Amino acid sequence: MAREFQRGHKARISDLTAGTDLYVGVQISGPGLTFDISCFGLDADERLSDDRYFIFYNQPKSPEESIQLLGAQAGDTESFRVTLDRIPQQIRKLSFTATLDGAGQMSQIGPGYIRIVAGGEEVARYPFSGPEFSTERAVMLGDFYFKDVWRFAAVGQGFDGGLDALLRNFGGEVAEEEPAAPQQQPQAGAAAPGFAPPAQATAPPAFGAPGGAPTPAPAATPAPAPAPVPPPAPAPAPQPAAQGFAPPPGATPPQVHTAPTIVAPLNTPPGGSPVLPPAPAPAPYGQPGHQPPPYGRTAPPPPGYAQPQAPAPPPGYGQPMPPPGYGHQPPPGQLPGQQAPYGAPQGAPQGAPHGAPQGPGVLGALQQFKETPTGQRWTQQNKKLVRVDLGIGGQPVLARQGSMVLYQGKVDFSYKGAGFSGRIVGNATGQEMQLMRCTGQGQVFFAENSTMLHPIELQGDAVCVSAENVLAFDEGLQYEVRRIEGHGIPGGALFTMQFQGTGTIVVKTHGIPVVLPVTPTTFADCNAVVAWSAASQVVVSSQVRMRRNSYPGDTGESVNLQFRGAPGNFIVVQPYEI
Amino acid sequence: MNQPLAGYAPAPVAARMENHGNHMAKIAMQTGNDLLARVGSMVAYEGFVQYEPNPPAVRQIAKDWLTGEGAPLMKCSGDGLLYLADYGANVVVINLNGDGISVNATNLLAFDAHLTWGVERVKGLAKFAGQGLWNTRISGQGWVALTSRGKPIVVDCGGGDDETYVDPDALVAWSPNLKVKGKRSFRAQSLIGRGSGEAYQMAFSGQGIVVVQPSEDSTDRLRVRG
């Protein structure tokens, strides 16, 4: 189950997954915008002291391949593979960043995310969207950082100046001193189709030269520049590659540039989705030196368990380290010599595994369960509790009897009868609601039996809900019993409640429901369906043969409901058959 | 084989009590730092932990408990890791740090034995017979684990004269300095068998918080199922 991060949240990787071979996917997009997504491997001082750990489209992997750029795949704009236990000692932080290429600003981006996938399963996701940013041109999305253990932090911090500001933040002076280094962009369409930046006029060097401003480099040596580069910035090749953010000019870059096969085929789908890499060169994906595993071609195991040379131990536990946190403590019988005994807190205080920051004291511990204040009439407090503010809107609320768990203010609860005809109908159809009327001024909290609650706001439209799934609703709604006819139904017909008008109805379900759009072939078990939009037409389809039904005890799936309707209609089905 | 389960290994110990998931408490036991836990709540332990049901010290304090059958608490001592759960209820772990809290009987899971605690009866409210209404007031420097059927919610009572009314079946815990009284919402109609379903509530007033669970199931499963 993926854990959703908010900006500023932090967690230990070991709390998210036991694996250390992670897939990091970034999805970011905006109309007309192009992004460069890169990963900075920083040292303990948060400096980019070794530019071989600036992983971007021109340098798709670190020397020992602990960080690799995989390209766009599986819905992600860019993706990385990070093998935490192979990251060298001096690299203490990986910062994943996205920078705008060309015009634009970060506020224009659509909803995006950075996510961590381990073992084919998404374990963490930090969603972000344009309104969180303004005129920034770069944004730090998330960090892996090492503090006792590897941790993940959702950062979401923008940088006004774009990539050069980001570079200065990480390594500062370099951008000024050596502005010209890496201009070997394949601008003339030289090579490298797999990762060529969009051939815009000033294909901004994603590194080095600040913002394309042609700082007059020591232009004396326009020496063996690889491509016909615009005049001011040929790579001063003889100059010792001091600390460029590019691969040191001279030896390495051609290799990266002219060998697109190294880069292109790393389109390993996470979890083995059948996207075949375009150019199936033997990608040195796993351990170098071993025979190249056919990773990404033959239904690969999910990234994270793919060490090709780990045969014996069960995967998942097969990481060289034992499951974190487990083997670290001495066995209980042992004398507490080398490590702290059981009770002693180790390391930084860490919250509950679900990530709640926990302060001391009753209030601190309970902070995460605080009431959420809003000014609306109906507020969902958590998945199983809903609050109505009777003072807003002024109309009473009808609720299932006994569903109030708490109220504040002056609220009166009274019996709500169905009336004579209502009782007759209710008795006959089973669509009977034991209701109470809540009037007055104040807030009432409703819940029942830990079922999940779903407030549905009706604005003149109608919804059909089975009576036993109604928890509460505004009194202004009209409701009536509706009959669904069909052959083969025990008792001759099915009944449901139809609510109509303007107001909110709270529907309860056992477990997390599924909401299906109504298509030409939408069926549901009549015992599990909770609600549907009233505009869809219901047809009973009995698909079970009489012969099977005639055996005693075999009920089978006797009555299915088929739903038809225009697009936009939906049905709600719970994982629980009454 | 264990691949899908690998993510559920316990995290390293960082505190005396922690959540393992939402429904289990993990307690780091040490000699000399005993724990009082509900009888039957242990689901697993590692190390050397011993259990003593109905210890004399508890009997002394808890003699007010209406049940004649002894206190439903056991003393756990030893070294190791202890895992507690209550039939899938949410577990909330609190570091009291000098605060106090009053916990409904069925919602108390465990607490440090060195905490100051006592059993009190809620005045003016005789709850249903057979269930026994007692609540435990705990304070001091230490840890408490509560259970809640479903994710609880914490409501601030506001501090004024306004009262907050809670269904007793949904009540989990409250600040001990709140004033408590029972409220009956009888009306004439109720007497002829057509009540609103909310026969009476507990009214809290003063400065503090009330913790409520989203369920009116207050059966004590540890006791019922034994």
ipTM reported for the complex, 2 dp: 0.81
Q: What is the pTM of this model?
A: 0.54
Per-residue pLDDT band for A182 (boundaries 50, 70, 90) equals: very low
Average pLDDT over residues B137-156: 91
Q: Give the range with max mean pLDDT: A104-113, A219-228, B74-83.
A: B74-83
Per-residue pLDDT band for A334 (boundaries 50, 70, 90) equals: very low
Nearest in space to A282 (alpha carbons), one of A264, A274, A272, A294:
A294
B30 contacts in chain A (CB < 8 Å): 341-343
Average pLDDT, chain B: 80
**Residue A63 falls in which region: left (phi positive, over 0), alpha (psi -120 to 50) or beta:** alpha
Per-residue pLDDT band for A188 (boundaries 50, 70, 90) equals: very low
Q: Which two tokens stand for residue B124?
A: 């003016």
Chain A stretch 337-366, residues whose beta carbon is closer than 8 A to a beta carbon of chain B? 341-350, 352-354, 358, 360-366
Per-residue pLDDT band for A553 (boundaries 50, 70, 90) equals: low
- Residue spans per domain, chain A: 3-262, 378-573
B215 contacts in chain A (CB < 8 Å): 384, 447-450
By Cβ distance, the residue of B6, B15, B153 closest to A323 is B6
Please check the confidence at residue A508 and state whether its pLDDT lies above 60.
yes
8 Å CB contact of A448 and B101 = no
Per-residue pLDDT band for A233 (boundaries 50, 70, 90) equals: very low
> Poorest-confidence range of A145-154, B70-79, B120-129?
B120-129
CB pairs under 8 A between A and B: 233
A408 contacts in chain B (CB < 8 Å): 155, 157-158, 162-165
Summarised one tens digit per residue, pLDDT across range A438-487 is 888 888 999 988 889 999 888 888 898 888 889 999 998 988 888 876 65
Nearest in space to A184 (alpha carbons), one of A206, A163, A162, A165:
A206
Summarised one tens digit per residue, pLDDT across range A386-443 is 999 988 888 899 998 888 888 888 888 887 776 777 777 777 776 777 788 888 888 8
Percent of chain A with pLDDT over 90: 4
| B93 has a chain A CB within 8 A of its CB | yes
Average pLDDT, chain A: 68
Summarised one tens digit per residue, pLDDT across range B85-118 is 998 899 999 999 888 999 887 888 999 999 998 8
What local confidence, expressed as pLDDT, does residue A229 receive? 39
Nearest in space to B173 (alpha carbons), one of B159, B155, B161:
B155
Mutation pick from B1, B33, B46, B153 vs chain A, by most beta carbons of A within 10 Å, is B153
Please check the confidence at residue B188 and state whether its pLDDT lies above 50.
no
Strand intervals (E) in B30-140:
35-38, 42-53, 73-84, 90-95, 100-104, 108-112, 116-120, 135-139
Burial class (CB in 10 A: 0-12, 13-18, 19+), A50: middle
Please check the confidence at residue B132 and state whether its pLDDT lies above 80.
no
Calpha distance A407→A397 (Å, rounded): 13
CA dihedral A277, A281, A283, A289 (to 10 degrees): 160
- Residue spans per domain, chain B: 14-216
What local confidence, expressed as pLDDT, does residue A529 receive? 85
Greater confidence (A145 vs A223) lies with A145
Per-residue pLDDT band for A251 (boundaries 50, 70, 90) equals: very low
A210: distance to nearest CA of chain B, Å? Answer: 44
Calpha distance A67→A53 (Å, rounded): 8
Domain made up of A3-262: CATH architecture:
Sandwich (2.60)
What local confidence, expressed as pLDDT, does residue B139 receive? 92
Query: Regarding the domain delimited by B14-216, which CATH topology (the fold level of the hierarchy) does it fall under?
Result: Double-stranded beta-helix (3.60.160)
8 Å CB contact of A345 and B29 = no
Report how far apart, in Å, the C-alpha atoms of B107 and of each of A548, B89, B145, B169 are: 48, 9, 9, 11
Per-residue pLDDT band for A228 (boundaries 50, 70, 90) equals: very low
- DSSP state letters, B140-164: SSSEEEEEESSS-EEEE--SSS--E
Average pLDDT over residues A174-192: 40
By Cβ distance, the residue of A16, A331, A436 closest to B198 is A436
Nearest in space to A126 (alpha carbons), one of A97, A84, A158, A155:
A155
Average pLDDT over residues A286-305: 41
The answer to whether the beta carbons of residues A397 and A441 sit under 8 Å apart is no
8 Å CB contact of B6 and A364 = no
| Angle, vertex CA A174, rays to CA A168 and CA A176, nearest 5 | 85
B193 contacts in chain A (CB < 8 Å): none
| B94 has a chain A CB within 8 A of its CB | yes
Question: Which alpha helices (H) appear in A116-203, and where do they start and end?
Answer: 163-171, 174-177
Summarised one tens digit per residue, pLDDT across range A362-391 is 888 888 888 887 778 898 888 899 999 988
Calpha distance A7→A126 (Å, rounded): 7
What local confidence, expressed as pLDDT, does residue A212 receive? 39
8 Å CB contact of A450 and B3 = no
B160 contacts in chain A (CB < 8 Å): none
Q: Which listed CATH number (3.40.1110.10, 3.60.160.10, 3.20.20.140, 3.40.190.80) goes with A378-573? A: 3.60.160.10
What local confidence, expressed as pLDDT, does residue B63 receive? 62
Beta partners for residue A4, in sequence order: A125
The answer to whether the beta carbons of residues A221 and A229 sit under 8 Å apart is no
